[in-house]
């Protein structure tokens, strides 16, 4: 049974699509074939003219043609003043189209942090919001009680961009034998039940509190350089990116891009701390124990880490 | 025949674009271009920490994310006076070039050439073969392009952690140093891509390709071997001529390049224009004359744009973005600002930068065929032939034990700008820092130049101008207009301050929906 998929871009950068195009072995097109997904429309790839597009949207919006999966990439833009006219298609606010198609779809998938939680424009003039969350608050554009035809809420796949394997995996799971349990933000635990910190190749430096205060070195980025890896849910260091690497591996702090509050207002490249200890501790830790542990760990740090001899 | 206005939403560009054209019968007599989205990125940056543009601005655009990172870091380097070590310059250049080549081939085979497989061309000799190559999701070249371009951006992931959207360039260099193993992997990825580009795109070796210096040479090369005609370049030339793309889509004859790719102090790579300070030279070409480029001469005008503020245009260092969101009509017809150089619109992109660099083949093509769709797209399709060997050269010069970061002076109270050439042309970031926070951030993207509306002097933007005089055979399927606008490689998500055009137009005429 083939599943129909409509890919809609709202207020975003197209980065999730670009990530998908960068999948290798199998690549995007192979994946679609293997999972028997019929991509009805993708704005960057499809060849249908404007007339055919209008017809397709009309058929889907009225339910004459069934829509299995609606993927939305980019935020729902509501500005200025709730009109949505900062993001339009054919002179209508794009948000109207999102509402119409979401009503018909069997599954609705928010691809990326913008579509999930509002993302980059969430605090700005664009009045951007997510499909079913605005940052941490349930509601968003479609409302807290929204469910798609399947009975599921919007499935959120945050990340800026979302890791392409998560997108493909989620689509494949819809026809697969195994359900995908979701977390409190309706994101699959499979990929968001772990921290970016897990699998980071700088972990040993972190373990012994060998921390860097500036770029260009091999140590951990958590205490001073703003790394949010120990607080951020995502599989960056398990799946790796482009089959190769991750940001923290090359000394770029995790920006917490899967977090409902991304982008947070405080500086990206600095860790807020009290007496040299981060205010935001790794998930689930209490301050007193963490202080004691880190003090002892630092004292036990081996020479090869202190001299940054161990490569990353 | 009465004038009618045709509104055409255009896909297969990055982001949303709507073109309105006035038609006299089948001829375009006037044109208006509107981006359809406003995300307010520049204003989001105000008040944030000095370096936060390194994280926010790559998110302006998913296909040229390393490009925005580059402009952002150059602006910060300039603002604080950072000294960037040679090896860091090489890696910055390498990654930006990887993104550029990726974009050039994806644009050519996933976005532009798809129009050759449009049923409007069903009677042309190339149509069946174009379908075999470029049908979305299935075409042979489409599938190969997806595979090869994904491998190429692995270079950016190796150096920068991931693609898209990393922030691995920091003032003073890179966040970390690549290892010997990393450099070896990058070397192999370029070799592998180059092999594909030679076999599939050129149909000959890069060395043979580089002997072509004129249109005559190009025609001789085509006649020389079947592989040359069968390659993507040869097939494009034959199809483009058969489709009349050599007579479509001219412009103002003004071209702009900011220049790009700082040369390391020690390098065997020569600038493309002798004595230029960067690999790709900066310049302004007007009526065939090259002039030095001076960023002071840039203004963003808003006469026809829905913004409040200064009439007469502001330099981006003094620029402001104040959307005038009343819904009022009037002569303003678009929310895109209109960047102007010396008061005039300018085309930017591979054609502009190669003309300004004095590339003999591109210069001759432009002389013989004009700045048409064919010339513009040819300049993009064959740009990787120049850049791939340079990428290899820069990697080979890199020392894995070298210096990749040198701590910069603090970013407290300072100003700077970062100018570079990116896949679609000239990109600039201008920023002002006060007490360690961003007080002003202004971005002018290539698509802001190419897709701009009219400015103070009432001159049309480059692709508006390029549409004038085009003949549209079938108003229900205006593929000719797609050819023209896509030859500029439109990227609307980048048009950071473009918003929906008005619902009504002043121009008389009938609006028909297509």
The string of pLDDT tens digits covering residues B424-453 is 999 999 999 999 999 999 999 999 999 999
CATH superfamily to which B3-513 belongs: Cytochrome-c3 Hydrogenase, chain B (1.10.645.10)
**Could you report the predicted ipTM of this complex, rounded to two decimals?**
0.97
Where in chain A is CATH 4.10.480.10?
203-306
Cα distance between residue B264 and residue B450, in whole Å: 31
Q: Look at B176 and A218 and tell me if their CB atoms are within 8 Å.
A: yes
When CB atoms are compared, the residue of A18, A77, A245 closest to B63 is A18
Q: B326: Cβ–Cβ under 8 A, 6 or more apart, which residues?
A: none
**Partner-chain residue, chosen from A49, A245, A252, that has the shortest CB–CB distance to B477:** A49
- What's the token pair of residue B367? 């002389």
Report the C-alpha gap between B413 and A38 in whole angstroms.
54
Question: What is the pLDDT at residue B492?
Answer: 62
- Could you give the angle at which helices B373-381 and B360-369 cross, rounded to 10 degrees? 160
CA distance A306 to chain B (A): 17
Q: Locate tokens 């969101």: which residue? A: B325
Q: What is the mean pLDDT of residues A274-298?
A: 93
Kindly state which CATH superfamily the domain A203-306 is placed in.
Cytochrome-c3 hydrogenase, C-terminal domain (4.10.480.10)
Residue B2: pLDDT band with limits 50, 70, 90:
low
Question: Structure tokens of B491?
Answer: 């990227």
Burial of A303 (0-12, 13-18, 19+ CB in 10 A): exposed
Q: Which of A130-139, B96-105, B219-228, B468-477 has the lowest mean pLDDT?
A: B468-477
Q: Which of A218-227, A249-258, A274-283, B97-106 has the lowest mean pLDDT?
A: A274-283
B196, B199, B201, B204: CA torsion to nearest 10:
130
What is residue B278's predicted lDDT score, i.e. its pLDDT? 98
Query: Is the pLDDT at B329 greater than 60, yes or no?
Result: no
The pLDDT of residue A238 is 97
Stretch 204-263 of chain A: residues touching chain B, C-beta under 8 Å: 214-218, 236, 241-252, 255, 257, 263
Is A160:B59 a contact under the CB 8 Å cutoff? yes
Whether the CB-CB separation of A131 and A72 falls below 8 Å is answered with: yes
Average pLDDT in the B26-50 region? 90
Q: Which residues sit opposite B417 in a β-bridge?
A: B430
Has residue B37 got a pLDDT over 80? no
Does residue A301 have a pLDDT over 60?
yes
A294: closest CA among A203, A208, A185, A232? A208
Cα separation values, A260 from A65, A159, A181, Å: 34, 10, 19
* Chain A neighbors of B163, CB-CB under 8 A: 18-19, 22, 241-242
Nearest CA to B283 out of B366, B342, B331 is that of B342
Pairs across A and B, CB distance < 8 A: 258
The tens digit of pLDDT for each residue in A176-214 reads 889 899 999 999 999 999 999 999 999 999 999 999 999
Alpha carbons B179 and B87: distance in angstroms, whole number: 12
pLDDT beyond 90 at B126: yes
Q: Dump pLDDT digits (tens) for B472-496.
A: 999 888 899 999 999 999 876 554 4
**Mean pLDDT of the residues in chain A:** 95
**Residue contact B51–A268, C-beta within 8 A:** yes
* Strands annotated E in B90-217: 169-170, 173-174
Residue B504 is predicted with a pLDDT of 31
A89 touches chain B (CB under 8 A): yes
For A239, counting Cβ atoms within 10 Å of its Cβ (0-12 exposed, 13-18 middle, 19+ buried), the class is: middle
Structure tokens at B376: 């513009």
Contact flag B158-A39 (C-beta cutoff 8 Å):
no
For residue A197 the two structure tokens come to 């910190």
Cα(A135)–Cα(A120) distance, rounded to whole angstroms? 11
Give the gyration radius of chain A's Cα atoms.
Answer: 21
Mean pLDDT value of segment A114-127: 94
Q: Which of B37, B307, B328, B409 to mutate to test the interface with A (most CBs of A within 10 A)?
A: B37
What is the per-residue pLDDT across A231-255, written as a single tens digit (0 to 9) for each? 999 999 999 999 999 999 999 999 9
pLDDT at B12 over 90: no
| B262 DSSP assignment | E
3-state helix, strand, coil in chain A (%, to 5): 30, 15, 55
b/e sequence A22-40, b meaning 16+ C-beta within 10 Å: bbbeebbbebbeebebebb
DSSP 8-state code for residue B282: E
> Is residue B165 predicted with pLDDT exceeding 70?
yes
Arithmetic mean of pLDDT over chain B = 91
Instruction: Please choose, from the candidates B445, B381, B502, the residue with its C-alpha nearest in 3D space to the C-alpha of residue B5.
Output: B502
Would you give the end-to-end CA distance of chain B in angstroms? 19
| Per-residue CA distances from B269 to B28, B262, B275, B386, B446 (Å) | 45, 11, 12, 12, 26
What pLDDT does residue B501 have?
28
Residue A114 and residue A129: Cα distance in Å, rounded? 7
Q: What is the SS3 assignment for B192? A: helix
Residues B44 and A76 sit within 8 Å (Cβ to Cβ): no
Quote the percentage of chain B above a pLDDT of 70: 92
pLDDT of B16 = 67
Taking contacts as CB-CB distances below 8 angstroms, the residues of chain A near B109 are none
Asked if B454 and B497 touch (Cβ cutoff 8 Å), the reply is: no
Helix (H) or strand (E) holding B138: none
The DSSP code sequence of B381-410 is: HTHHHHHHHHHHHHHHH--TTS--B-PPPP
The torsion of the CA quartet B172, B178, B184, B189, rounded to 10 degrees, works out to -70
pLDDT(B498) > 60: no
SS3 A250: helix
What pLDDT score does B330 carry?
62
State the smallest CA–CA distance between residue A42 and chain B in angstroms: 9
Cβ atoms of A250 and A200 within 8 Å: the answer is: no
pLDDT band at B287 (very low <50, low <70, confident <90, very high): confident
For residues B93 and B261, the answer to whether their CB atoms sit within 8 Å is yes
Domain with CATH 3.40.50.700 in chain A: 3-191
| A14: confidence class by pLDDT, cuts 50, 70, 90 | very high
Under the banding of pLDDT at 50, 70 and 90, the label for residue B499 is very low
pLDDT of residue A276: 84
Does the CB of A97 have a partner CB in chain B at under 8 Å?
no
Phi and psi at residue A2, to the nearest 5°: -85, 140
Chain B's closest residue to A200, CA to CA, is B161
Q: Extract the tokens encoding B165.
A: 């959207």
Q: Do B161 and A86 touch (CB under 8 A)?
A: no
| Residue pair A138/A132 in contact by the 8 Å Cβ criterion | yes
CB-count burial class (<10 Å; 0-12, 13-18, 19+) for A206: buried
Domain ranges of chain B: 3-513
Over residues B256-275, the pLDDT tens digits come to 999 999 999 999 999 999 99
Q: Which CATH architecture has domain A3-191?
A: 3-Layer(aba) Sandwich (3.40)
CB B395, CB B186: distance < 8 Å: yes
Predicted local confidence at residue B14, as pLDDT? 60
Cα distance between residue B26 and residue B479, in whole Å: 13
Inter-axis angle of helices B383-397 and B86-106, to 10 degrees? 150
pLDDT of the residue at B277: 92
Q: Which tokens is A283 given?
A: 């998930």
CA distance A273 to A251: 20
Q: Do A49 and B173 touch (CB under 8 A)?
A: no
Query: Is the pLDDT score of A297 beyond 50?
Result: yes
**B232-245: per-residue pLDDT in tens?**
999 999 999 999 99
Q: Which of these ranges, A77-86, B33-42, B264-273, has the smallest mean pLDDT?
A: B33-42
Which chain A residues touch B136 with a CB distance below 8 Å? Answer: 45-47
**C-alpha pair distances (Å), B474 with each of B111, B117, B119, B121:** 21, 16, 11, 11
DSSP secondary structure letters along B52-69: GHHHHGGGG-SSSHHHHH
pLDDT band, very low/low/confident/very high, at B328 (cuts 50, 70, 90): very low
Reported as a single tens digit per residue, the pLDDT across B73-95 is: 999 999 999 999 999 999 999 99
């Amino acid at each position: 049974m083939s599943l129909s998929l409509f890919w809609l871009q709202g207020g975003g950068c197209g980065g999730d699509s670009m990530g998908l195009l960068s999948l290798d072995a199998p690549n995007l097109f192979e994946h679609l074939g293997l999972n028997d997904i019929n991509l009805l429309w993708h704005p960057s790839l499809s060849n249908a003219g404007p007339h055919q597009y209008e017809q397709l949207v009309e058929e889907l919006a009225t339910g004459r043609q069934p829509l299995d999966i609606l993927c939305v990439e980019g935020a729902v833009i509501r500005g200025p003043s709730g009109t949505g006219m900062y993001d339009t298609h054919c002179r209508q606010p794009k948000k109207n189209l999102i509402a119409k198609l979401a009503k018909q779809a069997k599954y609705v998938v928010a691809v990326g942090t913008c579509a999930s939680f509002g993302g980059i424009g969430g605090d700005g003039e664009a009045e951007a919001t997510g499909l079913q969350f605005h940052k941490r608050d349930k509601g968003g554009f479609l409302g807290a009680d929204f469910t798609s035809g399947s009975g599921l809420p919007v499935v959120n796949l945050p990340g800026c961009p979302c890791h392409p394997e998560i997108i493909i995996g989620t689509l494949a799971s819809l026809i697969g034998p195994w359900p995908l349990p979701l977390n409190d933000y309706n994101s699959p635990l499979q990929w968001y039940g772990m921290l970016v910190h897990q699998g980071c190749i700088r972990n040993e430096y972190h373990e012994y509190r060998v921390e860097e205060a500036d770029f260009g070195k091999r140590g951990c980025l958590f205490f001073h350089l703003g790394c949010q890896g120990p607080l951020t849910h995502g599989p960056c260091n398990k799946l790796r990116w482009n089959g190769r690497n991750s940001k923290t591996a090359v000394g770029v702090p995790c920006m917490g891009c899967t977090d409902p509050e991304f982008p947070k207002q405080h500086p990206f490249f600095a860790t807020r701390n009290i007496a040299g200890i981060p205010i935001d501790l790794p998930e689930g830790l209490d301050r007193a124990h963490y202080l004691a542990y880190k003090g002892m760990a630092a004292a036990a740090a081996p020479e090869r880490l202190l001299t940054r001899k161990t490569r990353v | 025949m009465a004038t009618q206005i045709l509104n055409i939403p255009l896909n297969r560009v990055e982001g949303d674009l709507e073109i309105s054209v006035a038609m006299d019968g089948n001829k375009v007599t006037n044109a208006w271009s509107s981006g359809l989205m406003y995300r307010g990125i520049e204003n989001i940056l105000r008040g944030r920490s000095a370096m936060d543009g390194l994280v926010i601005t790559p998110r302006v655009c998913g296909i040229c994310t390393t490009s925005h990172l580059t402009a952002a870091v150059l602006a910060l380097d300039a603002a604080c006076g950072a000294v960037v070590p040679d090896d860091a310059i090489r890696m910055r250049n390498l990654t930006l070039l990887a993104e550029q080549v990726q974009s050039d081939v994806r644009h050519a085979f996933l976005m532009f050439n798809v129009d050759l497989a449009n049923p409007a061309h069903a009677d042309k000799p190339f149509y069946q073969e174009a379908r075999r190559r470029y049908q979305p999701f299935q075409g042979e070249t489409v599938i190969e392009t997806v595979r090869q371009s994904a491998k190429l951006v692995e270079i950016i992931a190796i150096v920068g952690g991931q693609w898209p959207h990393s922030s691995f360039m920091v003032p003073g260099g890179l966040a970390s140093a690549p290892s010997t193993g990393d450099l070896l992997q990058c070397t192999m990825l370029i070799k592998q891509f180059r092999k594909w580009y030679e076999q599939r795109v050129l149909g000959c070796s890069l060395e043979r390709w580089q002997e072509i210096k004129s249109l005559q040479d190009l025609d001789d090369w085509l006649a020389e071997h079947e592989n040359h005609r069968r390659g993507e370049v040869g097939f494009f030339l034959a199809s483009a001529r058969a489709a009349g793309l050599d007579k479509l889509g001219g412009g103002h004859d003004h071209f702009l390049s900011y220049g790009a790719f700082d040369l390391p102090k020690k390098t065997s790579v020569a600038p493309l224009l002798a004595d230029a300070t960067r690999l790709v030279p900066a310049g302004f070409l007007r009526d065939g004359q090259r002039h030095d480029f001076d960023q002071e001469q840039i203004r963003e005008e808003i006469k026809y744009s829905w913004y409040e503020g200064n009439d007469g245009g502001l330099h981006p260092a003094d620029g402001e973005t104040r959307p005038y969101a009343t819904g009022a009509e009037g002569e303003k017809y678009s929310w895109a600002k209109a960047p102007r150089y010396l008061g005039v619109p300018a085309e930017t992109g591979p054609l502009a930068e190669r003309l300004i660099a004095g590339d003999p083949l591109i210069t001759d093509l432009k002389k013989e065929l004009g700045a048409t769709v064919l010339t513009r797209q040819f300049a993009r399709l064959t740009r990787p032939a120049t850049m791939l060997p340079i990428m290899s050269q820069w990697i080979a010069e890199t020392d894995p034990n070298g210096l990749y970061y040198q701590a910069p002076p603090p970013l407290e109270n300072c100003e700077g700008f970062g100018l570079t050439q990116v896949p679609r042309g000239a990109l600039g970031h201008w920023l002002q820092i006060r007490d360690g926070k961003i007080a002003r951030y202004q971005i002018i993207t290539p698509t802001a130049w190419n897709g701009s509306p009219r400015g103070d002097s009432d001159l049309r933007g480059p692709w508006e101008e390029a549409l004038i005089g085009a003949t549209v055979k079938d108003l229900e399927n205006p593929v000719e207009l797609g050819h023209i606008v896509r030859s500029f490689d439109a990227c609307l998500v980048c048009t950071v301050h473009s918003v929906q055009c008005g619902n009504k137009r002043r121009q008389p005429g009938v609006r028909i929906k297509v």
